[in-house]
Amino acid sequence: MLVDIPLAELRDYRPEPTEPADFDAFWQRTLAEARAAARPATFEPCESGLRTVDVFDVTFSGYAGQPVRAWLILPQHTEGRLPCVVQYLGYNGGRGLPHEHLTWSAAGYAHLVMDSRGQGSGGSAHAVTPDPDPSGEPATPGFLTRGVGSPETYYYRRLYTDAVRAVDTALDHPRIDPDRIAVHGGSQGGGIAIAAAGLAGGVAAVMADVPFLCHFRRAVEITDGSPYSELATYCRTHRLSEERVFSTLDYFDCVNHAARATAPALFSVALMDAVCPPSTVFAAYNRWAGEDKDMTVWKYNGHEAGGAFQTAEQIRFLTKALA
């Protein structure tokens, strides 16, 4: 069934933002520290058994200079600099294996697939990047409340910083055109793409499918689906922590990051999605700072949204956005 307010109301849904006064200063300091600690990225050729692409096992410096792994997949028989898709992954997924990521190289793009630190054991694609800085404070199982007592210790401070550094890594690669870099992801990856677009320089296009990490305060009130249920469970257990929790989350809410993103953007939303409710997606979309944006609506779908049909939309979108 439809899980949220009617589509006509969703298109005009603009909640009053809750934005910390030091939001920009916090992120400027965080990224400056990560860049100051960075070492040059490494790109080790990988024998994947694939014959139409060249695959590189990438290690770059993320949050606090800590190593983050990725795949770089380049289409063979190409010359010069290529447009690039930097991809972020869904909740508890990892970079997996190179043959799981062939769409964008087949379409003629360089493709950088970033691992998610500490994730990748959720039963699908695996990861190889550890998270060496978990907070020692109590947390609900999962990642959404890890270190939530402070923006300084929150898990997504590290993951968002990794995402920006992935864009930096693409910008510096000699086979990638620095003027044609897109960020992309679904669910958690879609939220990270929004954050990266607002925080990183050099993003030319954004594709955010049914994004997670948007409008936390509403999400926990209208869905008991995971992962947002982790927040409700935490607050149900730590009964006096609500304001502290949501004050931390305001630094990571993609509604606030969208207000700083200006690149052309293609969003998608599913009206039967109880994981990332439609109003939370529209809250970020309607606050997007750039004027060139579009939303694909999948009325009868849940969190799977448009699937391969949305990929076809994205290929058309990038052909124009990165022309």
The 10s digit of each residue's pLDDT in 242-285 is: 999 999 999 999 999 999 999 999 999 999 999 999 999 999 99
Quick one: average pLDDT of 199-219?
A: 97
Instruction: Single out the catalytic residue among 48, 133, 226, 303.
Output: 303
pLDDT, one tens digit per residue, over 277-302 is 999 999 999 999 999 999 999 999 99
- Residue 230: φ, ψ to 5°: -60, -40
**Average pLDDT value for residue range 101-127:** 96
Average pLDDT, the chain: 97
Q: Which of 225, 69, 253, 236 is closest to 154 using CA atoms?
A: 253
**pLDDT above 90: residue 55:** yes
pLDDT over threshold 90, residue 135: no
Whether residue 133 is predicted with pLDDT greater than 90 in this model: the reply is no
Q: What is the rounded average pLDDT of the residues 15-33?
A: 97
Phi, psi angles (nearest 5°) of residue 240: -105, 15
Confirm if 73 and 84 have CB atoms less than 8 A apart: no
Name the active-site residue from 115, 131, 168, 273.
273
Tokens 């690039």 correspond to 84
Percent of the chain at pLDDT exceeding 90:
97
Please check the confidence at residue 43 and state whether its pLDDT lies above 90.
Answer: yes
Q: What is the pLDDT of residue 124?
A: 85
Average of per-residue pLDDT across 134-145: 90
* Stretch among 27-41, 124-138, 277-291 having the lowest mean pLDDT: 124-138
For this structure, is 303 an active site residue? yes
- 7-321: CATH topology: Rossmann fold (3.40.50)
Phi, psi of 246 (to 5 degrees): -75, -25
Q: Which of 116, 187, 229, 279 is catalytic?
A: 187
> How far apart (Å, rounded) are the C-alpha atoms in residues 33 and 19?
22
Q: Which two tokens stand for residue 86?
A: 């930097």
Reported as a single tens digit per residue, the pLDDT across 67-98 is 999 999 999 999 999 999 999 999 999 999 99
126-130: average pLDDT: 94
pLDDT of 136 > 90? The answer is: no
pLDDT of residue 309: 98
Query: Looking at residues 47-71, what average pLDDT do you find?
Result: 97
Q: What is the pLDDT of residue 137?
A: 87
pLDDT of residue 254: 98
Q: With 0-12 CB in 10 A as exposed, 13-18 as middle and 19+ as buried, what is 289?
A: middle
Name the residue among 146, 176, 69 with its Cα closest to residue 113: 69
Mean pLDDT of 87-115: 98
Residue pLDDT, tens place only, 142-194: 999 999 999 999 999 999 999 999 999 999 999 999 999 999 999 999 999 99
Contacts of residue 167, Cβ cutoff 8 Å, sequence gap at least 6: 86, 181, 183, 196, 200, 201, 202, 203
Beta carbons within 8 Å of 176's beta carbon, 6+ residues apart: 81, 82, 83, 84, 110, 170
